[in-house]
Structure 1
Amino acid sequence: MVISEVAVFGEAGAAQYVQHVTAGPHKMLADEPKDRDGGDAGPAPFDYLLAALGSCTSITLRMYADRKGWNLGNVSVKLEYIRESKEVARITRAVSVSAAISEEQRARLADIIERTPVTLAIKQGVGIASNVSIGQ
């Protein structure tokens, strides 16, 4: 079962690293920031990785809370991708809700956060099958 399908196109002669990203009907740009010789025309690839993790976290919490009838208020997720060395990287994730919730609810949400679909994909690792073709 295909969960997601995205197409990325880098146009010859366009700004150095700008990539056109299509996800269903949505069109986005990706680029590198100026300090990495890009034009900063869109989020960098790691920004999209963090956006996927953060949005999956927020959506999953909202779905769970809705099923339980819990009011979370606003859900905010802040993330950082930190490269500690060539071999070691980590993501920090801080989640907050604006509504008053019990300690039991907070603990349950903390458990759910660790089991969101994108969290599990990142933690478990995902195999990548790649090929290169000529002409399109």
Structure 2
Amino acid sequence: MGIVATATVNTLEAPWSGEVQSGKHQLITDKPESFGGGDLGLAPYDLLCASLISCTMITLRMYAAHKQIQLGEFRVEADFCANREGAEWVERRLHFQTPLDAELEQKILSICEKTPVTKTLLRSVDIKTTLV
């Protein structure tokens, strides 16, 4: 397998802000005002959470379509957390409008642990940086 995703960020005039482009899509990234930014867009850890919950939603919908299960409307939320000891973790929550039976709840929790972005975050990833 080769490149799975690609993105570029170009600096903008405002401190800490940039324009992210991926394919034909674009968005602004920035830091919150409390960190000296202008809060013009998603901060890096917001993007990380967005990646995880987007992948979770897509994976669950694909599973439901494959198994012909009606999940109804649902919402996925995530918080990136850290403590003073240096531990970091993500808390992910799923909210379904349609009640699920216990067996389906367990299956959904199992699937969530197997989404591609979840698996990437749970293992170490090499990052190779070069100057060009």
Distance 1:85 1:132 in 2: 33
How far off its partner does 1:86 sit? Answer: 5.2
Distance 1:86 1:100 in 2: 38
Show CA shifts across 1:89-134 (max 9, x none).
Answer: 111001122122221111111000001000000001211000123x
Distance 1:70 1:130 in 2: 43
- The equivalences for 1:1-136 within 5 A come to 1-11=2-12, 14-85=13-84, 87-133=86-132
Consecutive unaligned residues of structure 2, counting only runs of 5 or more, are none
Distance 2:64 2:126 in 1: 32
Distance 1:6 1:32 in 2: 18
Consecutive unaligned residues of structure 1, counting only runs of 5 or more, are none
Structure 1 residue ranges (4+ consecutive) displaced by more than 3 angstroms after TM superposition: none
Q: Which amino acid in the other structure matches residue 81 of structure 2?
A: I
How far off its partner does 1:39 sit? Answer: 0.5
Q: Which amino acid in the other structure matches residue 59 of structure 1?
A: I
Distance 2:101 2:67 in 1: 13
3-state SS in 2 of match to 1:105: helix
- After the TM superposition, which of the residue ranges 97-106 and 73-82 deviates more from structure 2? 97-106
What is the TM-score of this pair, normalised by structure 1?
Answer: 0.92
Aligned residues: 131
Distance 1:90 1:43 in 2: 19
Q: Which amino acid in the other structure matches residue 5 of structure 1?
A: T
How far off its partner does 1:87 sit? Answer: 2.2
Distance 1:16 1:36 in 2: 11
What is the TM-score of this pair, normalised by structure 2?
Answer: 0.95
Q: Which amino acid in the other structure matches residue 63 of structure 1?
A: M
3-state SS in 1 of match to 2:80: strand
How far off its partner does 1:9 sit? Answer: 1.0
Distance 1:65 1:125 in 2: 29
Q: Taking every aligned residue pair, what percent have the same amino acid on both sides?
A: 31
Distance 1:75 1:61 in 2: 10
